[in-house]
Amino acid sequence: MNAPSAPVPTLRFRNVAELLRTNATRFADRPVFAEKDTEGAWHSTTWGRLGADVARVAAALRARGFAPGDKMLLFSPNRLDMLRMELAVMATGGIAVPIFAHFKRETAELLIRHSDARHLTVAGAAQLQRLGPDLDLRLVVSLDPVEAGASPIPDIVPFSELLAHPEDGGAAVDTALDPDSLCLNMYTSGTMGVPKCVQLSHRNILSQQDALAATHWWKLDEHDRFLSYLPWHHSFGGIFELLSVLYNGACMYLESSYGRDAAAIMANWKAVRPTVFFSVPKVYQALVDLSHESPETGALFFHGGLKFIFTAAAALPQRLSDEFERRGIPVIEGWGLTETSPCCTLTDPAVKRAIGVVGKPIPGVQLRIDADGEVLVKGPNVMCGYYRNDQANAGIFTEDGWFRTGDVGEMGPTGLRIVTRKDRIFKLSNGEKVIPTDLERAIEGSCHYVSFAVVSGHGQDYPVALLFPNRRQLDNPDYAVTPLDGCLCPRTLEELQQCLRGCLKNANCSIGQKFSKVRKAVIIDDELSLEKSTLTPSMKVAPVKVLETYREHLDHLYDETGMPPEDAYVILLDDQAAVTNTGKA
């Protein structure tokens, strides 16, 4: 089954260099980026200043031997200097390779070597101290000053030296770059395995902005303000959000807690009053919870100047969607992968949202559902292939050129519905196939005291669930926002253990096949996080890592002969069972 698509829009900008030069002239005196200093004061940079700085850095790179096609690995959190460097690399014909700023030595060195980057930019000493001296690098640039002897790598070039390079009239900014030349290598978040290096061209990352501009409800311009925390080493933030800002001449305000602290986000929200916000369900949940603490906070968050919110990475729970709808804030959801630059579909905010439905293809993108339910994609946004990964490249495209996304889905009247990842479907011992995401969504939707649910059962007689509580809700229960009548509004994990059995039974009832229902569940007194790699950079659950990290809890659900883990609250769901005691009882 094919999904209809509007024609491919004409590229407004042939490459990133042309985008930068055009907008630096058109919006010269308008702000493009703002961040806080150490005292908490906001400082903004104009488009004209950004264009001039990028031109100088590009000229400095050329003078140091950086040539078209060369790679610059960026090992830094989001900041203005990282943006200057990344744009300079792309504008001079190079390839930017951003990675997570807090990778440990083993992973950081692995990616540097795998990428074949011979040029490296780090934020400062914290990144340098995670690296060894034997990485075969030609140029290492530090955005922050580094004291002598603080790095195992010699000859560190201060970024300030590049910024001070004499102007060359912008000659190093090459607006004639081929749209199909590579400009970005981005490592996938690896929810199910080892990260893969996705190769993307100027056309790949710019084509979707032309497509969005042709969409009647996607109206952004130079007056828009983005409050941003999404990391640039991930496609949602580093391609979709960042290019939405740059393409439309808007301004990005860097969220000072990098999305980790709801209270800090709200304080920044008050100062910026964003007109657009891109985020993931976990952060929306924390902000909506916070907005209920006072009428003033609610009015601040759901302010009248907010055009829309954008959500991706996982389905936004219906209760949150309904809250935004009640407040008059449109919700747009999208779907895609790093390999598709990333956006393939968008929901229409005028159409009532349904969980799992991610909308219709953006102009120029075509979808097809394969015989086994896998979603196939074709369009100018589809990657050029994985770098140095013959195994991953083998079979990733069909014989007639469609990209295999690995997502299972189905088309409906309002667009594509994502069912699950193809590699998440597992078989029970009797051979029956289980789609865990259906039940995970049902559990998370039935109880807002559960942040995440992970269903497992490969090779077992029945499925079980690992549940991770919403600590903010437990500490501040609010009956007014409880989606189900009769909720006991638990305040502790013991109380949640007692009352969750009913919610789990309701979730089970929403699943048609008896064999797919969970028989046991465990509430785990812990949080999923980026640091533990149990969440991806886009705040999606990394199921393989979760099951590996909490293997003891999973094993206990199938073998109760021993004592449960100390942080476990086990719930039995067959007809004879009640909630069980644990080591906490």
Among 89-98, 195-204, 262-271, 569-578, which is the least confidently predicted range? 569-578
Which residue, 282, 418, 414, is CA-closest to 356? 418
Residue 207 lies in a domain: yes
- At 113-170, the pLDDT tens digits run 999 999 999 999 999 999 999 999 999 999 999 987 778 888 999 999 999 999 888 8
Residue 585 lies in a domain: no
Residue 309 lies in a domain: yes
Phi (first) and psi of residue 64, to 5 degrees: -95, 15
Residue with tokens 């638990």: 490
pLDDT for res 498: 87
355 and 301 within one domain: yes
Indicate whether 266 pLDDT > 90.
yes
pLDDT for res 499: 86
Average pLDDT over residues 438-444: 88
Domain range spanning residue 481?
425-572
Query: Could you give the percent of the chain with pLDDT greater than 70?
Result: 95
pLDDT for res 585: 36
Among 360, 394, 417, identify where a domain stops: 417
Q: Enumerate residues 6+ apart whose C-beta is below 8 A from 106.
A: none
111 and 69 within one domain: yes
CATH of the domain at 528: 3.30.300.30
- Would you place residue 348 in the very low, low, confident or very high pLDDT band (cuts 50, 70, 90)? very high
Average pLDDT over residues 398-405: 97
Residue 579 lies in a domain: no
Say how many CA atoms lie within 13 Å of 370 toward its Cβ. 18
Residue 294, CA distances (Å) to 172, 231, 301, 328, 449 in order: 53, 30, 11, 19, 20
- Would you place residue 481 in the very low, low, confident or very high pLDDT band (cuts 50, 70, 90)? low
CATH of the domain at 301: 3.40.50.12780
pLDDT for res 3: 67
- Would you place residue 360 in the very low, low, confident or very high pLDDT band (cuts 50, 70, 90)? very high
429 and 406 within one domain: no
pLDDT for res 344: 97
pLDDT for res 5: 66
Among 354, 385, 417, identify where a domain stops: 417
353 and 226 within one domain: yes
Output the six-digit token pair for 449: 């005291």
d(CA 16, CA 206): 8
pLDDT for res 577: 45
429 and 402 within one domain: no
Indicate whether 550 pLDDT > 80.
yes
Among 180-184, 205-209, 312-316, which is the least confidently predicted range? 312-316
Residue 580 lies in a domain: no
* Contact assessment for residue 455 and residue 464, using Cβ atoms and an 8 Å cutoff: yes
pLDDT for res 489: 83
Among 351, 384, 417, identify where a domain stops: 417
444 and 411 within one domain: no
411 and 430 within one domain: no
Average pLDDT over residues 394-398: 96
- Would you place residue 576 in the very low, low, confident or very high pLDDT band (cuts 50, 70, 90)? very low
Residue 36: which H helix or E strand, with range? strand 31-36
pLDDT for res 485: 59
Number of neighbours of residue 251 by Cβ within 10 angstroms: 24
Which residue, 473, 475, 500, is CA-closest to 487? 500
In DSSP terms, 345 is beta-bridged to 335, 361
Indicate whether 330 pLDDT > 90.
yes
Phi (first) and psi of residue 230, to 5 degrees: -60, 130
pLDDT for res 583: 43
Range among 234-248, 314-328, 534-548 with highest mean pLDDT value: 234-248
Say how many CA atoms lie within 13 Å of 488 toward its Cβ. 14
463 and 345 within one domain: no
156 and 266 within one domain: yes
425 vs 68 pLDDT, higher one: 68
165 and 54 within one domain: yes
Please give the DSSP secondary-structure letter assigned to residue 237. I
10 vs 192 pLDDT, higher one: 10
185 and 66 within one domain: yes
- At 483-529, the pLDDT tens digits run 455 677 888 999 999 889 888 998 999 888 889 999 999 999 999 98
pTM beyond cutoff 0.95: no
* Contact assessment for residue 284 and residue 309, using Cβ atoms and an 8 Å cutoff: yes
Mean pLDDT, the chain, rounded, equals 91
Average pLDDT over residues 431-453: 88
pLDDT for res 581: 45
- At 53-106, the pLDDT tens digits run 999 999 999 999 999 999 999 999 999 999 999 999 999 999 999 999 999 999
Residue 568 lies in a domain: yes
Number of domains composing the chain: 2
Residue 484 lies in a domain: yes
Residue 23 lies in a domain: yes
Query: Could you give the percent of the chain with pLDDT greater than 90?
Result: 74
146 and 52 within one domain: yes
- 330-333 long-range Cβ contacts below 8 angstroms, 24+ apart: 330/217, 332/217, 332/218, 332/308, 333/357, 333/358, 333/359
- Would you place residue 319 in the very low, low, confident or very high pLDDT band (cuts 50, 70, 90)? confident
